[in-house]
Amino acid sequence: MTLEEIWKEYEAFAPTSKKQHEEAVKVIPGGVAANIKYFDPFPLHMKGGNGPWLYDVDGHKYVDYLASYGPLILGHGYPEVKEAMMKQIENGAILYGTPHALEAKMAEKIKELYPSIEMLRYTNSGTEATLFSLRMAYAYTGKYKIGKFEGHYHGGYNQVLLSVNSAKGDVRRPEPIPESLGLEPFQKENTIILPFNDLEATTAILEEHQDEMAAVIMEPVLTGYCPATQEFMDGLREVTKRLGILLIFDEVKTGFRVSLGGAQGYYHIKPDLTCLGKVLGAGLPMGVVGGRKDILMKAAPLSGSDVFDASNSKRSSAADVLFHSGTYNGHPLILTAGLATIGVLEKKFDYIVGQTDKLRAGLEEIFKEKGIPMQTVGVGTVFNILLTDVKIEKFRDIQTSDFETRKKIDYLLLMEGIYNKPTNRYSVSAVHDDNILDFTFEAYRKAMKKL
């Protein structure tokens, strides 16, 4: 089947989604609230979810492997999380605008699981967390360039929207490629692109820029599923420490998914700063920046340093403090949901990893039976399906995968009741039991037969 033939079948399968999308494009650019939610010819529109299932507006149900791009590690509407949230709502105040006990309670739990985090601040998303971590690095070091790796994503703001899904230049010395309109030209000079999993080449670039580079920010597991080698991680920690460059782990995808203690727990590496999000918010918007106390204390408010205090307007020392604020930071309802989620994960994380391994093994066997080159790549509870024999170590290795065939399979799977955005990684949840895995394998066999 051609992709166009599959799309024609897909349009007939989801007419209400198509109609709702056509209405949405009249009032929302592209018909979606975030570009990542779109795929051709139109995305499915959902109206509900329960456990491992998503329900669309056309009456179909799907096993959900998107998990909203990772946060829903317990699936939809997990009982313990719902119960904790309802108790918080019944307290009568969803938002205080003041300090409250849950802020310190969550901080202590995160410190317990992430020993590199001595202090932390809350944000409203992973993007905000990485943005604030860079401001911390600038404030602490007095330097204003950063290093980021080719293929790594850290949010939708200008300084990191380079070389996320594009590659150019020598593989050992990548060129910065803008990934959006509206980026200032100087960002290409201020963001140095590094080659992932190549310690020798990375070290050479860092040594060239050590006097102007505040930090290296990275996904320890590229795009959530392609892991760094232990040798690379150990070497990167050593060289950044030696050169006085802060090391920032963006664990928005990997936190509570690679291990309960994130990728840093898996690699036994202590970064200077860590960014968390996704799973930690239990499906609600949340982020965290944590790390060394001497860095975090740059944000501690001092007398006369409140940028919003008009009484200090003539003598304010706000510029002497690293500014950080947010109406919804440390939201009590979100912290309640997050703490409940961590409580469940402390009992069930190993089970989720086991189910992930079963799923990967079963899918690899199905592709082997069909004679299609395929490998599952990932660690912990996340993986992706790559149709290639090439060993996956770098971003450019991922590009050797047969995405056209993978895309065809994914659209056919949608019509067999398996939900994922075409070509996206798989995020396994606690509710993906053996029955769900068997359903998945049968759906794959049907899709592959059609293909």
Could you write out the three-class secondary structure of 68-127?
HHCCCCCCECCHHHHHHHHHHHHCCCCCCCCCCHHHHHHHHHHHHHCCCCCEEEEECCHH
Query: With 90 as the cut, is the pLDDT of residue 306 above it?
Result: no
Closest CA to 283 of 77, 36, 43: 77
325: which DSSP letter?
Answer: -
Has residue 33 been placed in a domain? no
Residue in 64, 250, 397, 410 annotated catalytic: 250
Q: Is residue 146 within a helix (H) or strand (E), and if so which, with residue range?
A: strand 145-149
Instruction: Tokens 């664990």: give the residue.
Output: 251
Distance CA 373, CA 201 (A): 31
100 located within any domain: yes
Question: How far, in whole angstroms, is CA 59 from its chain's centroid?
Answer: 30
Q: Which two tokens stand for residue 63?
A: 């096993």
- What is the CATH classification number for the domain harbouring 276? 3.40.640.10
Q: What is the pLDDT of residue 291?
A: 98
User: In this structure, is residue 104 part of a structural domain?
Assistant: yes
Q: Give a yes or no: residue 86 inside a domain.
A: yes
- The pLDDT of residue 173 is 95
- In DSSP notation, 347-393 reads HHHHHHHHHHHHHHHHHHHHHHHHT---EEEEETTEEEEE---S---
Give the count of domains, the chain.
Answer: 1
**Residues 65, 153, 225, 419: which is the catalytic one?**
153
The residues facing 418 across adjacent strands are 63
User: Which position has the higher pLDDT, 315 or 424?
Assistant: 424
The reply to whether 153 belongs to the active site is yes
Distance from C-alpha of 442 to C-alpha of 362, rounded to nearest angstrom: 10
* Predicted pLDDT at 316: 54
Contacts of 9 (CB under 8 A, 6+ apart): 415
Which one is catalytic: 143, 148, 278, 394? 278
Is 60 exceeded by the pLDDT of residue 109? Answer: yes
The average pLDDT across 74-87 equals 97
Is residue 368 in a domain? no
* Mean pLDDT score of the chain: 95
Give every CB contact of residue 239 below 8 A, 6+ residues apart in sequence: 199, 202, 203, 206, 207
Give the CB-side neighbour count of residue 401, counting CA atoms within 13 A: 24
3-state secondary structure of 56: strand
307 pLDDT more than 70? no
pLDDT at 313 over 70: no
Q: Quick: pLDDT tens for 238-261.
A: 999 999 999 999 999 999 999 999
> 129 in a domain, yes or no?
yes
Burial (0-12, 13-18, 19+ Cβ within 10 Å), 104: exposed
In sequence order, what E strands does 262-353 have? 273-276, 287-291
Q: Which band of pLDDT confidence, cut at 50, 70 and 90, is reported for residue 319? A: confident
Q: How far apart are CA 136 and CA 292, in angstroms?
A: 11
pLDDT digits (tens, 9 = 90+) for 35-79: 999 999 999 999 999 999 999 999 999 999 999 999 999 999 999
Answer yes or no: is 119 within a domain. yes
Two tokens, residue 62: 């799907």
pLDDT one-digit tens code per residue, 152-169:
999 999 999 999 998 988
Domain that holds residue 213: 79-308+317-342
Percentage of the residues of the chain whose pLDDT score is greater than 70: 96
Q: What tokens does 357 get?
A: 């391994």
Mean pLDDT of 136-151: 97
What pLDDT is stored for residue 312 in this prediction? 61
Secondary structure of the chain: what % helix, strand, coil (to 5)? 45, 15, 40
Angle between helices 332-370 and 434-450 (to 10 degrees): 50
> What digits encode the pLDDT tens for the residues 357-400?
999 999 999 999 999 999 999 999 999 999 999 999 999 999 99
In a domain, 173, yes or no: yes
pLDDT at 304: 56
Q: How many CB atoms lie within 10 A of CB 32?
A: 16
- Taken in order 33, 37, 41, 43, is the CA torsion positive or negative? negative
Number of C-beta neighbours around residue 113 at 10 A: 19
Percent above pLDDT 90 for the chain = 93
